[in-house]
Chain A
Amino acid sequence: MEQLQEKSNEVVKEIDLIVPFLPEMVRVVRLTVSGIASRIGFQIDEIEDIKVAVAEICTRILTKSKLNNERYVIKFNMTDTGLTVKFEFENQKPKNFELFAEEDVLGISIVNSLVDEVFVNNAKDSKEIITLSMFLKEN
């Protein structure tokens, strides 16, 4: 048992979810991230915020990329200080892809308000889209 505990401390706790470009799958992502955030130790209202922000990014990716037979990857990295959620395309980033445009003011304000850090990767040759970070608060 102690060996298992030591191993748990050494392992990089990352869960990767590969998601089809289907609107109904966003609900599955919401359920998944809720479970992960709960496991890390976030409070109920924080879990709700994380869930909303993560789903908002999924929705942006779906509406902005217009891909059909492809998938995107969500990497949930669980640390002692919180949760980092990185979104990537499974293959190439589509040409002229822009996650947030000016008209997406509702989505932008929701994401920026609900998470602690946002990093958008605009590099055209990178599969990475955006990374959200949420940190555990001292309660």
Chain B
Amino acid sequence: MTGLAFLIPIALLMGALGLAAFFWAMRSGQYDDMDGAANRILIDEEESE
């Protein structure tokens, strides 16, 4: 049962991290342009000048 003392906080922390990552992604606008993201992968890197 002492294992629980570690495992439960770890589970909660990992869940909270995922939640924080989602909030951060939403705030930084990563869901604003889904079609654009799909297209950008096709753009070649610019030649170094």
Q: Do A and B bind each other?
A: no
Report which B residues bind A (CB closer than 8 A).
none
Q: Please report A residues at the B interface, Cβ cutoff 8 Å.
A: none
